[in-house]
Amino acid sequence: MKNELKQLKEAREARANKNKKGEMIAICSANGGIGRTVMSVNLAVALAKNNMRVCNIDGNFQFGDLCLSMDLRPTFTIKDIVEELDQMDEYALANFLVNHKSGVKILSSPERPEYAELITTTVLEKVYKLLINQFDYLIVDTEAGLQDLSLFYIEKSDEIFLLSTLDMIVMKNTKMMLETFDILGQKEKVRVIVNKSSVDSVIKAADVPEILETDNIFHIPNQPELVLQSLNVGIPFVSNHGKSDLAKAYFKIADQLLSKRKDITTDTKTSSNSILQSIFQKGKAVRSIF
């Protein structure tokens, strides 16, 4: 019985840890200018609207524009964290995040490109460990392609959103990136996001599953005026144009993430019940002997 109680306690602790741990989503693309920043910002705000604790990480360490896209001027950036890395704990780290009025927190990239070389995987590892238990979601706007630091996020992430467009060259590179994810053992985590998928193109949205050999695809419509206006004023369109087709696509992705998270929690509860049940069954068996 002592062993069973110990087992129960361990299961409870594991459940608590599992519930506490957030999820990291790496927003990637093979080419630049595909819509990673727009996606990082609007997905983060859509999740925050569902009462999730969300931190947006700007992984473009040379020319990051996440804060600007949200009309924010950062007081601190990841470079300041590097300077105090040894003393950093989760309480200290909270002071280095920028607050957006949606509730989303942002870890800004350095203010100058030359500081990018100060950011190493050691820094990212420590920051990841300190943030992952404080937030429900870490959304990372990674650099285009497969740079070393982007690979850190890709490997650590729970989900990879690989953005593409219907453009021929982008599609070719997305396919190569998918193949590389396969070689790296990361393909299971990938969901392809076809951005601007309603645009008129030689490649049709319906052709994408065959080209990329996957059905795990989500389509986001092309609404250039809305996106441009949103970037120019620094207000995410999910905040002020919630009824647009574009915002609806983002809310749908957020909903899917949330229901997946719910399923995981329910699964964990069920498995802990079965431990309880097994102890109860054994108790019955013990009583029947006496």
- Residues forming the site for Mg ion (CB under 5 A): 36-37
The answer for residues whose C-beta is within 8 angstroms of residue 217's C-beta and 6 or more apart is 191, 192, 193, 194, 208, 209
The tokens 């840890």 sit on which residue?
17
User: Cα-Cα-Cα-Cα dihedral of 282, 286, 287, 290, to 10°?
Assistant: 170
Size of the chain, expressed as the number of residues it contains: 290
Phi-psi region of 196 (alpha: psi -120 to 50; beta: other; left: phi over 0): left
Q: Which of 3, 183, 224, 243 binds ligand ATP (CB under 6 A)?
A: 224
The mark string for 47-86 relative to ligand ATP (x by CB under 6 A, - otherwise) is: -------------x--------------------------
Nearest residue relative to ligand ATP (C-beta): 32
Which segment (27-35, 81-89, 112-120, 203-211) binds ligand ATP by CB under 6 A? 27-35
Q: Which two tokens stand for residue 96?
A: 């280095």
Amino acid at 116: A
Which residue in 108, 173, 223, 239 binds ligand ATP (CB under 6 A)? 223
What is the x/- site pattern for ligand ATP, positions 111-130, by CB under 6 A?
--------------------
Q: List C-alpha distances in Å: 174 to 59, 208, 215, 241.
A: 19, 11, 14, 30
Is residue 28 within the footprint of ligand ATP (CB under 6 A)?
Answer: no
Identify the residue among 36, 49, 79, 126 touching ligand ATP (CB under 6 A): 36
Q: Minimal distance in Å, beta carbon 231 to ligand ATP?
A: 6
User: Which is nearest to 67 in space by CA: 27, 110, 24?
Assistant: 110
Q: Which residue is nearest to Mg ion (CB)?
A: 37
Least separation in angstroms between CB 36 and Mg ion: 5
Binding test (CB under 6 A) with ligand ATP, winner from 14, 17, 19, 33: 33
3-state secondary structure 116-173: HHHCCHHHHHHHHHHHHCCCCEEEEECCCCCCHHHHHHHHHCCEEEEEECCCHHHHHH
Q: Which stretch binds ligand ATP (CB under 6 A): 85-93, 97-105, 222-230, 236-244?
A: 222-230
Helix (H) or strand (E) holding 85: none
Which of the listed partners (ligand ATP, Mg ion, none) does 38 bind, with a CB threshold of 5 to 8 Å by partner kind? ligand ATP
**Binder among 25, 26, 30, 38 for ligand ATP (CB under 6 A):** 38
Burial code (b: 16+ CB inside 10 Å, e: under 16) for 43-82 equals bbbbbbbeebebbbbbbbbeebebbebbebebeebbbbbb
Of 127, 246, 254, 257, the one binding ligand ATP by CB under 6 A: 246
Q: Coil, strand or helix: which one is 81?
A: helix
Given a contact cutoff of 8 angstroms between Cβ atoms, the answer to whether 133 and 90 are in contact is yes
36 SS3 class: helix
Piece of 97-105, 225-233, 257-265, 280-288 that binds ligand ATP (CB under 6 A): 225-233
CB under 5 to 8 A by kind: which of ligand ATP, Mg ion, none does 217 bind? none
Instruction: Kindly state whether residue 220 participates in binding ligand ATP, applying the rule CB under 6 A.
Output: yes
Which parts of this chain interact with ligand ATP (CB under 6 A)? Answer: 29, 32-38, 60, 144, 195-196, 220, 222-224, 227-228, 231, 246
